[in-house]
Amino acid sequence: MPDINFSSEDLDLSFVKKDRSLAEILTDRDLAALGDAFINFVYSLTLSLKEKKPVGRKLDNVKLASALRKAGLREILPHRVDRHRQANAAEALIVYAWLVGVLSLKEILQIMGTSENIEDSLGRLLQEIVPKIGFRLS
């Protein structure tokens, strides 16, 4: 059985800058690119565990952007940011949390499996990440 407790601490991630503002994390395009692949893997694995068979799916930007708004993170981004960039912000934050070791893959999967509504699960995941990386939402 694969080790879903695998954490980022098992890797050399010296390229990840740890002392960053929340706005910097949310607008980092490189993190968003990695986050896109990571969240699609996590989403597919969540579905695979639920359905007890391999499933490969991609999350669409509408769901990710909605989750970002539900988590109260939309107001941190500049005013004229489209859904695509809102989705990128969610992807960047999720992968950043895993890269810096505040959530393991197992913890992320557990949160993703809490609701049948993926937007609710993603919103909860984003809400849990923010204080764990040292930020507060007003």
pLDDT of residue 4: 60
Domain covering 21-132: architecture: Orthogonal Bundle (1.10)
Cα–chain center distance at 118 = 12
- What averages of pLDDT result for each successive group of 10 residues across the chain (138 residues)? 62 80 93 97 95 95 95 88 94 95 93 94 96 76
pLDDT of residue 113: 92
With a CB cutoff of 8 Å and minimum separation 6, the contacts of 73 are 26, 89, 90, 93, 126, 130, 137
Q: What is the pLDDT of residues 101-133, one digit of tens each?
A: 999 999 999 999 999 999 999 999 999 999 998
Q: What angle do CA 23, 66, 116 make, to 5 degrees?
A: 125
pLDDT of residue 5: 63
With a CB cutoff of 8 Å and minimum separation 6, the contacts of 122 are 59, 63, 64, 67, 70, 71, 90, 112
- Report if pTM > 0.85: yes
C-alpha span between 67 and 87 (Å, rounded): 9
Domain ranges of the chain: 21-132
Cα 48 to Cα 15, 17, 54, 103: the distances in Å are 31, 32, 5, 20
Count of beta carbons in the 10 Å neighbourhood of residue 50: 12
pLDDT of residue 126: 96
Q: How many Cα atoms sit within 13 Å of 88 on the Cβ side? A: 17
